[in-house]
Amino acid sequence: MDERILGIDLGTSNSLVGVVDSGFPILFADADGARLTPSAVFYPEGGGEPLVGAAALRMRVLQPGRTVVSAKRHMGERGALAECERASGPEQVSAAILTRLKEVGERAMGENLDKAVITVPAYFNDAQRSATRRAGEMAGLEVVRILSEPTAAALAYGLDKLDERSKVAVYDLGGGTFDVSVLELNDGLFQVLATDGDTRLGGDDLDSALAAKLAEMADVGGLEATSPELVARFLEAARSAKEALSDACSVPVLLPFIDGEKGFETELTREEFEALARPVIDRTRVHCRRALAAAGVTADELDAVVLVGGSTRVPLVRETVAEVFGQVPDTSANPDEAVALGAVIQAGVMSGAIRDIVLLDVTPLSLGVETFGGLMNVVIPRNTTIPVARGELFTNAVAGQRTMKISVLQGEREMARDNWSLGEFEIDFVPGAKGSARVGVQFSLDADGILSVLARDTATGSDRVLEIRDAAIDVDDERVGQMVAESVEHAFEDMNERLWTGAKQKSEELLPAVAQALELAGDVLEDADERQIGAAVAAVQAALEGGDHGELKRANAALDQATEQLAALLVERALEG
């Protein structure tokens, strides 16, 4: 019997765990019969055992400051979660949740289970994937695979049974993140063609909007003005009203004792809720269109659209999806369990309990290195299928240089500084003339999305390797989703800056070379020629001040031309000498 591997959906709002048993994927229920474990951890005063799940959520209403929720939003960030001093970071909070899930599984199976497949949003970068892996290790789990959520969902929906080359979209609106991915079935394998989304968009936004509305109706002077305890109660009331409105057309809302004695009571209709929800839900449209465009697929080429995430139970979400993709979405799988089910299936494949399904994932953002002039040089473009290894050869920009700094970047912007630094290191090489060194840089991304960067001086064969899994990266989670949007927004500026940088580099090479040539051979030049060169030099200097790349390029070309004769003279002299 092969060793069992747990499949885990470590969600922002809810987490689930399961395993393949006798060839069937199953999800475990906890002692209360619940399959969904809220991703919440309560840290009691005085340092007792943390409470995980529904119990922690109940404590949140009483002591919001000691309960951590949505820790996943901060995955990969350094530093503590401000809300609670004992939860030292998102990894520790996630580890507490994973410890609980492991226990649920072990109790159900009556055996030790210490391997797991854990899912992450498609947008998670290397640091966030590594942080998830470390959280698993802290919980005593060997993480055998980090799997993207839409890929897992596709498995759960059984999309592998569609016809060859079928294309599907996976729309995942959960509590805290939104992902949309376009997949294609090739030779029985899933391939993610493109993925897009927003790491700060989900059911939580619907709750906040509704809670603010309820607070306004209850006349408590705005949600911000109330105590944290009351905010938590309004949010809780909003969430349960929202969920009830997915089935009912109107629901009662009851909040007793909101200011000591007075209570609040109202009836909320689906129309009222939809008016608040529409702007939030509409924000998913642009991501759907972008994913389709990036995949090079039109909506009518899609063979299926599937819904994932608890928030896709909202009827307005389903209508919006139908509108955007021009077809009624498939809701045959349980939307809040689809990702977990896919993780379980993948775990089953890896343990040998299920055979014959292979997954291919893609890079959510481009990976590259900084080159001379501060430009981003892409080594592995966005949406490349992984695993992948790609290399490039670099040379020294300055004569006599002994080391080269390899700065590893992730992002879509033209200028290195606008992308995220994943880490950097130096490689030594044999000093020589400008352009004489040969440093090969190879990026390899494994199936978990963990990047290793190898740099090699081809002359000596000396190597340096950087593993990005523990990269000191300090980027705001929100920027992950914004990166692509920004690259589109700044496309023109970025391009102009790249052209400017190139032209400036050329001037910086040209000016000292001309000065040196004049010193060596200026004496034999005709006065008119010398004046012409002087004017061309002045024009380049003026253009350098000006900032227009076209002008600078033309000035460079004019200087090049004006010095043609001078260059010929120098060559002649060199031959004579």
Is the separation of the CB atoms in 39 and 202 below 8 Å? no
Give the DSSP per-residue string, 298-333. Answer: -GGG-SEEEEESGGGGSHHHHHHHHHHHTSPPB--S
Cα-flanking dihedrals φ and ψ of residue 378, to 5°?
A: -75, 125
Please report whether residue 35 would count as binding ligand ADP according to CB under 6 A: no
CB nearer ligand ADP, residue 116 or residue 510: 116
Partner whose binding site includes residue 246, from Mg ion, ligand ADP, none (CB under 5 to 8 Å by kind): ligand ADP
C-alpha separations of 272 from 213, 277, 319, 329, 466 in Å: 10, 9, 16, 24, 54
Give the active site residue among 30, 91, 149, 370.
149
Is the separation of the CB atoms in 214 and 237 below 8 Å? yes
Please report whether residue 364 would count as binding ligand ADP according to CB under 6 A: no
Asked about 149 being catalytic, the answer comes back as yes
Partner whose binding site includes residue 313, from Mg ion, ligand ADP, none (CB under 5 to 8 Å by kind): ligand ADP
Partner whose binding site includes residue 311, from Mg ion, ligand ADP, none (CB under 5 to 8 Å by kind): ligand ADP
User: Which residues on adjacent β-strands are paired with residue 119?
Assistant: 9, 147
C-beta of 364: minimal distance to Mg ion in Å? Answer: 16
Please choose, out of 184-192, 197-205, 403-411, 427-435, the segment that lies near ligand ADP by the rule CB under 6 A.
197-205
Cα-flanking dihedrals φ and ψ of residue 399, to 5°?
A: -65, 145
CB nearer Mg ion, residue 18 or residue 64: 18
Please report whether residue 176 would count as binding ligand ADP according to CB under 6 A: yes
Instruction: Give the integer Cα–Cα distance in Å for 566 and 572.
Output: 10
CA angle, corner 212, sides to 210 and 213, nearest 5? 65
Residue located via tokens 């190879």: 442
C-beta of 405: minimal distance to Mg ion in Å? Answer: 39
Q: What is the 3-state secondary structure (H, E, C) of 413-465?
A: CCEHHHCEEEEEEEEECCCCCCCCCCEEEEEEECCCCCEEEEEEECCCCCEEE
Please report whether residue 335 would count as binding Mg ion according to CB under 5 A: no
Report which of 248, 250, 246 is spatially closest to residue 314, judged by C-alpha positions.
246
Tokens representing residue 159 in the block: 């999309």
Please report whether residue 105 would count as binding ligand ADP according to CB under 6 A: no
C-beta of 310: minimal distance to ligand ADP in Å? Answer: 2
C-beta of 10: minimal distance to Mg ion in Å? Answer: 9
Is the separation of the CB atoms in 126 and 469 below 8 Å? yes
Partner whose binding site includes residue 13, from ligand ADP, Mg ion, none (CB under 5 to 8 Å by kind): ligand ADP
Please report whether residue 331 would count as binding ligand ADP according to CB under 6 A: no
Please report whether residue 343 would count as binding ligand ADP according to CB under 6 A: no
Cα-flanking dihedrals φ and ψ of residue 520, to 5°?
A: -80, -40
CB nearer Mg ion, residue 90 or residue 174: 174
The contacts of residue 488 (CB under 8 Å, 6+ apart) are none
Identified binder of ligand ADP from the candidate list 4, 5, 13, 343, rule CB under 6 A: 13
Instruction: Name the DSSP class of 192.
Output: E
Please report whether residue 310 would count as binding ligand ADP according to CB under 6 A: yes
C-beta of 508: minimal distance to ligand ADP in Å? Answer: 51
Please report whether residue 11 would count as binding Mg ion according to CB under 5 A: yes
State the amino acid at position 485 in one-letter form.
A
C-beta of 127: minimal distance to Mg ion in Å? Answer: 20
Identified binder of ligand ADP from the candidate list 136, 197, 203, 449, rule CB under 6 A: 203
Residue located via tokens 């055979």: 355
E-strand spans in 205-277? 250-259, 262-269
Three-state DSSP state, 184: strand
Cα-flanking dihedrals φ and ψ of residue 445, to 5°?
A: -115, 125
Please report whether residue 91 would count as binding ligand ADP according to CB under 6 A: no
Three-state DSSP state, 172: strand
Instruction: Give the integer Cα–Cα distance in Å for 403 and 401.
Output: 6
Identified binder of Mg ion from the candidate list 64, 89, 174, 449, rule CB under 5 A: 174
Instruction: Give the integer Cα–Cα distance in Å for 239 and 60.
Output: 14
Asked about 446 being catalytic, the answer comes back as no
Cα-flanking dihedrals φ and ψ of residue 511, to 5°?
A: -55, -55
Please choose, out of 5-13, 185-193, 353-361, 485-493, the segment that lies near Mg ion by the rule CB under 5 A.
5-13
Please report whether residue 329 would count as binding Mg ion according to CB under 5 A: no
Please report whether residue 11 would count as binding ligand ADP according to CB under 6 A: yes
CB nearer Mg ion, residue 25 or residue 174: 174
Identified binder of ligand ADP from the candidate list 7, 14, 273, 506, rule CB under 6 A: 14
- x/- map, 221-250, ligand ADP, by CB under 6 A: ------------------x--xx--x----
Please report whether residue 314 would count as binding ligand ADP according to CB under 6 A: yes
C-beta of 346: minimal distance to ligand ADP in Å? Answer: 17
CB nearer Mg ion, residue 148 or residue 396: 148
C-beta of 203: minimal distance to ligand ADP in Å? Answer: 2
Report which of 464, 467, 468, 439 is spatially closest to residue 454, judged by C-alpha positions.
464
Count of C-beta atoms within a 10 Å radius of residue 500 = 18
Number of residues assigned to the chain: 577
Instruction: Give the integer Cα–Cα distance in Å for 484 and 45.
Output: 43
C-beta of 285: minimal distance to ligand ADP in Å? Answer: 19
Please report whether residue 176 would count as binding Mg ion according to CB under 5 A: no
Please report whether residue 75 would count as binding ligand ADP according to CB under 6 A: no
Rounded to a whole number of angstroms, the distance between the first and last alpha carbons of the chain is 83
Please report whether residue 364 would count as binding Mg ion according to CB under 5 A: no
Please report whether residue 53 would count as binding ligand ADP according to CB under 6 A: no
Three-state DSSP state, 175: coil
Give the active site residue among 77, 91, 126, 172.
172
Asked about 361 being catalytic, the answer comes back as no
CB nearer ligand ADP, residue 368 or residue 481: 481
CB nearer ligand ADP, residue 91 or residue 204: 204
Which residues here bind Mg ion, judged by CB under 5 A?
A: 11, 174
List active site positions.
Answer: 9, 72, 149, 172
Which residues here bind ligand ADP, judged by CB under 6 A?
A: 11-14, 174-177, 202-204, 239, 242-243, 246, 309-311, 313-314, 336
